[in-house]
Amino acid sequence: MTAPSRIPSGSRSTPVSTASYEPDTGTFEGAYLSPARMAAVLGAMAALLAVTMIVAVAYGTVRIDLYRALTQPATSDHAILFSARLPRVLMGAVVGAILAAVGAALQALVRNPLAEGGILGISGGGALGAILALTVGYRLGGGPVAIVPLCAFAMALLSTLAVYRLAQVNGRLEPFSLLLIGVIFNAFWGALILLVNALVDLYQVHSIIAWLMGSLEAPTYYQVALVAAMGLGGFAALFIRARDMNLLSLGDDAAADLGVSIEAVRRTIFIATSLMIGAAVSVSGIINFVGLIVPHILRLALGADHRLLLPASVLGGAALLVAADLIARIVIAPAELPVGVITALCGGPFFIYLLRREERRSLVT
């Protein structure tokens, strides 16, 4: 059912599956996305995520007894599990899911596997928005917590629109000018974050490293719920456009010929991804490369259909970030690394590999 035969192993030019077809039942096994295949893949990935989360909850700098933690509320094991590990693992899952889904949608938008919220500078814009909100909110003596992610959303959207506009050459989106503009925006937002930090001492609110490197320390359940709600809203908007994203990969003109309203799809992707990035960034800072790696690997393994790729990215991104955060917590125990260090260490080389490969292949045929 899951059609592992689709995975191009090694050489990309080998025929992947000679679809067996029975005209009576009308099945091309594995050559297209059937509801059964989708359910099987997502079920398997959900199981993988569940296992990852259980492992991540069970292990950490302090050894705890899971059974005692679950059965005896008075123990320190219980306290560690429910007030430290669980919210952190949940937040890791939510943020990872958001980053990967956003990556998949942005890649569909620009028709290029090199796109991602972090690389395009959108996360940086969001992080600056969050920091500005924290600064002002802090000065004003607090305020509703949702102000922070909403400001992050606004700045992320501004950043998205700016990058998208500036990367257009004669009305066409140039992949490499897009990457270049993204790099510039990244540096620009990073500098502004440092500037704001220098003017206003933010250390009491959040460590500056956490904003620039990305970290998942000590979220509250309220924060988890808020970010999850925003993420879910954005994901729903993207998922409704999944088939349009498929058509978009044929080119804007061809997609329009097939009934896609290009402007409406773009608008949805801009707003939904900015909302999601804003939510993620406001609690975790800039975590790079998850949105790049996850959709790319899943596309190779599962095919390019966004109706599967988007939800699969959610599950895969969640599992990856939870696992990366587990490593960040235990690798230099008792100290902790920001999780962004782990994703950047793995993602940097991967990005270079992708870039090299894309340079060799012509991008959009």
Closest CA to 122 of 164, 176, 162, 159: 159
Exactly one of 191, 194, 254, 332 binds another protein (CB under 8 A); that residue is: 254
- Asked, as a colleague might, if the bond just before 219 is cis with ω within 30 of 0, I would say no
Task: Quote the least distance from Cβ 256 to another protein, whole Å.
Answer: 6
* Token pair 């693992």: residue: 89
Exactly one of 52, 112, 223, 282 binds another protein (CB under 8 A); that residue is: 112
- Would you call 256 exposed, middle or buried from its count of C-beta atoms within 10 A (0-12, 13-18, 19+)? middle
Quote the CA–CA distance of 135 and 267 in Å, as a whole number. Answer: 30
Task: Quote the least distance from Cβ 254 to another protein, whole Å.
Answer: 6
259 binds another protein (CB under 8 A): yes
Task: Quote the least distance from Cβ 107 to another protein, whole Å.
Answer: 8
* Token pair 């879910």: residue: 232
**CA–CA–CA angle 150, 275, 40 (5° rounding):** 140
Quote the CA–CA distance of 81 and 143 in Å, as a whole number. Answer: 29
346 binds another protein (CB under 8 A): no
290 binds another protein (CB under 8 A): no
Residue 291 DSSP SS3 = helix
Exactly one of 186, 223, 246, 274 binds another protein (CB under 8 A); that residue is: 246
Task: Quote the least distance from Cβ 148 to another protein, whole Å.
Answer: 33
206 binds another protein (CB under 8 A): no
Quote the CA–CA distance of 75 and 81 in Å, as a whole number. Answer: 10
113 binds another protein (CB under 8 A): yes
SS3 content of the chain, % helix, strand, coil (to 5): 70, 0, 30
232 binds another protein (CB under 8 A): no
300 binds another protein (CB under 8 A): yes
Q: Which stretch binds another protein (CB under 8 A): 182-190, 253-261, 272-280, 337-345?
A: 253-261
**CA–CA–CA angle 184, 190, 195 (5° rounding):** 125
Exactly one of 85, 206, 241, 329 binds another protein (CB under 8 A); that residue is: 241
Strand partners, 169: 172
Exactly one of 69, 152, 260, 293 binds another protein (CB under 8 A); that residue is: 260
Task: Quote the least distance from Cβ 100 to another protein, whole Å.
Answer: 16
Task: Quote the least distance from Cβ 161 to another protein, whole Å.
Answer: 22
Three-state secondary structure string covering 61-123: CCCCCHHHHHHCCCCHHHHHHHHHHHHHHHHHHHHHHHHHHHHHHHHHHHCCCCCCCCCCCHH
> 12-41 mask for another protein (x: CB under 8 A)?
xx-xxxxx-x-x-xxxx-xxxxxx------
Residue 184 DSSP SS3 = helix
Task: Quote the least distance from Cβ 39 to another protein, whole Å.
Answer: 11
Residue 250 DSSP SS3 = coil
Task: Quote the least distance from Cβ 333 to another protein, whole Å.
Answer: 41
Exactly one of 6, 162, 196, 330 binds another protein (CB under 8 A); that residue is: 6
Residue closer to another protein (CB basis): 156 or 242:
242
> Could you list the residues that contact another protein (CB under 8 A)?
6, 8, 12-13, 15-19, 21, 23, 25-28, 30-35, 108, 111-113, 240-244, 246-247, 249-251, 253-254, 256-261, 299-300, 303-305, 307, 363-365
